[in-house]
Structure 1
Amino acid sequence: MERTTILVVDDEEDMRFLVCMYLENSGFSCLQAKDGEEALALIQQQNIDLILLDIMMPNIDGFALCERIRKQSSVPIIFLTARGDEWDKVKGFKIGGDDYIVKPFSPGELIARIEAIIRRTYQGRQTDGISLGSISIDEKGRKVTVAGESIVLTLKEFDLLVFLAKHHGQVFSREDLLVRVWGYDYTGNARTVDTHIKTLRLKLKQGGSFIKTVWGIGYKFEV
């Protein structure tokens, strides 16, 4: 089987080496770029499945590079950066990033997030449905069944369920969910997420136990 190829874009050579070591030990193929121009050239020349992108780089920073990549490609992009400000995260998602990881990071978490996005992006294209435990989701038809019983959800309840299910096992804060599910311009209280989680759990009945609270952080979907 052909290995998944990941492009690491970072102006720090030691960081590129370290990340590629983690990736290759986990079975991925790794390419490196020290700046935006080199990254753009590699994207044109190579078949790249995912990009790990630093923000603070000379000439073309990570945000500008992401915007340029999105004009020509939908390849998944994970920001891997020391900039942990909330507004940086929001901007990263808004311009097309698929995930945002702040340095210093856990190698295990990095690999888990990469694997989740690879599954969601490439394996998910083979079907319009999601089946996890007793829950089945028809994305196109916007239908949900639990143990064969049809469940009626509101628009945001459905979107929230799909998002969490597609990121199986990944923990999201309330603020992350507001950005990713409600939209970048949403200005409501983060407790909105708690309310929707509560009603979603009730409607999903036995399937509601798959939506787990991670105390002090947020929520995840895990079967």
Structure 2
Amino acid sequence: MKILIIEDEAKTADYLAGGLGEAGYSVDHADNGIDGLHMARETPYDLILLDVMLPGLDGWAVMQKLRAQTRTPVLFLSARGTLEDRLRGLELGADEYLVKPFSFAELLARIRIILRRGQAQPDEEILSLGDLRLDLGKHRCERAGMRIDLTSKEFKLLACFLQHPEQVLSRTFLASRVWDMNFDSDTNVVDVAVRRLRQKVDEPFAVRLIHTVHGVGYRCELEA
């Protein structure tokens, strides 16, 4: 699980990163709102920890811009603890609002609840992009009304793309999500799987959905 911390106080950020790392999470950090928003847009995170009082762009603005593009779970961590502040954060689309100072044990508990909540939703959803539909419950894929047979890994790979539309997914991220493994630069397992998936969901159709971002990874989106 990958978490982004957007926090300008260095000591707080180090404390969070250290504790979350010991708990088994992979952590990135941005010390201002502009960089944090850019990182959140470019990298698929499982959760974002967001401060309110940030240089460059405050947490309210970051939250508003994020919700215009993504449903990545967000947990506000802020010293601003009035009822109005908490309600504002939740109304902007945050999943939780935790007031500083807080217990790290409580933070971990809230993180686990949010992540479990996010994992429970996909099984009930039909993912789609353009004329492509992926029914996770029935394990069924269709494009333009045509049934497409996928292997279990191809299905999981396509689901990963559709759960992160228009985001660049690195080979490392795909390997960890689809194969539950660390990416080895000497293996081409991800590239081979993407090529086979394209042969089934892209090549027979006029509009391509899976695009290569050279030197970075892949992105799933409708061509302009």
Q: TM-score range by the shorter chain?
A: 0.5 to 0.7
CA-to-aligned-CA distance 1:41-77 (integer Å, 9 cap, x gap) = x98xx7474379xxxxx9977xx77633234444889
Alpha-carbon distance in 2 for matches of 1:180, 1:27 = 23
1:168 pairs with 2:207: no
1:219 pairs with 2:218: yes
Report the CA distance shift for 1:141/1:66 in structure 2 as closer, same or farther (over 3 A).
Answer: farther
Q: Percent identity?
A: 26
Letter in 2 for 1:220: R
Letter in 2 for 1:210: L
SS at match of 1:201: helix
Aligned length: 159
RMSD (Å), alpha carbons: 4.5
Gap runs ≥5 in structure 2: 10-30, 34-52, 68-73
Alpha-carbon distance in 1 for matches of 2:188, 2:207 = 19
SS at match of 2:165: coil
SS at match of 1:209: coil
1:158 pairs with 2:202: no
Gap runs ≥5 in structure 1: 1-7, 53-57, 78-95, 97-120
Query: What is the TM-score when the length of structure 2 is the normalising length?
Result: 0.53
1:20 pairs with 2:19: no
Query: What is the TM-score when the length of structure 1 is the normalising length?
Result: 0.53
Match of 1:50 in 2: 94
Alpha-carbon distance in 2 for matches of 1:66, 1:207 = 48
For 1:124-143, list aligned pairs within 5 A.
128-143=125-140
For 1:26-45, list aligned pairs within 5 A.
26=65, 33-34=77-78
Report the CA distance shift for 1:142/1:214 in structure 2 as closer, same or farther (over 3 A).
Answer: same
For the 8 Å contact 1:50–1:76, the answer to whether it is kept is no
For the 8 Å contact 1:175–1:190, the answer to whether it is kept is no
Match of 1:86 in 2: none
Alpha-carbon distance in 2 for matches of 1:193, 1:137 = 20
- The equivalent position to 2:109 in structure 1, one of 64, 68, 71, is 68
Report the CA distance shift for 1:166/1:25 in structure 2 as closer, same or farther (over 3 A).
Answer: closer
